[in-house]
Structure 1
């Protein structure tokens, strides 16, 4: 999995979601705009992060966050009870 570039700065953060409040859009393939990176931060539980191209599945937890690259299709899936949020960087 990629790392956030050193030259990006956080500018927005989602509310915290749990397994029952995850927006449908996050559960299906979606993407950020050009130049926008994301960081998926799991506070508790586990979240399956799937990147479409190149295909990769990563199990995220409180010790491992996910990096969303600009314009890359991806989705998440709760693996039981989970609490998480997404930070956006430019």
Structure 2
């Protein structure tokens, strides 16, 4: 996971708070944030496991981090990863920060996240 978001990036989107019942399936499967976009996952309750991969086709994570309540993790642009919700009461959201020079396309979470196709 990245150590920080560049100062000049701007906050572009906040997701709702999600639980095990409401988390979008795309986040639980192999995906990445788009070019010029950082994701900051904030855990309010429970815990989330973040698994990061060297590329789209890797199945063995190079990063395996547990983010507990009161903490956050940052995912860099175009880095393949997925998450797992570790407790029944997990409650979290994601804030996205974009390079002001990057044109973002799409709507909703598709504007900032790419999922694997095939």
Specify which structure has the higher proportion of strand.
1
Aligned to 1:72: 79
Q: CA deviation at 1:27?
A: 0.2
1:7 and 1:62 map into 2 onto residues whose CA distance is: 27
1:84 and 1:66 map into 2 onto residues whose CA distance is: 11
Structure 1 spans left out of the alignment, 5+ residues = none
Residue pair 2:42, 2:70 contacting (<8 A) in 1 also = no
Count of residues paired in the alignment: 90
User: Highest Rg: 1 or 2?
Assistant: 2
1:19 and 1:59 map into 2 onto residues whose CA distance is: 16
Q: CA deviation at 1:59?
A: 0.4
- TM (normalized to structure 2)? 0.71
Residue pair 2:11, 2:96 contacting (<8 A) in 1 also = yes
2:65 and 2:21 map into 1 onto residues whose CA distance is: 21
Structure 2 spans left out of the alignment, 5+ residues = 55-60, 99-118
SS in 2 for 1:57: strand
List per-residue Cα deviations over 1:26-58 (Å, max 9, x = no partner): 000101110011100101100001111271011
1:86 and 1:32 map into 2 onto residues whose CA distance is: 11
CA-atom RMSD in angstroms: 1.3
SS in 1 for 2:78: coil
Alignment of 1:36-47 (within 5 A): 36-47=37-48
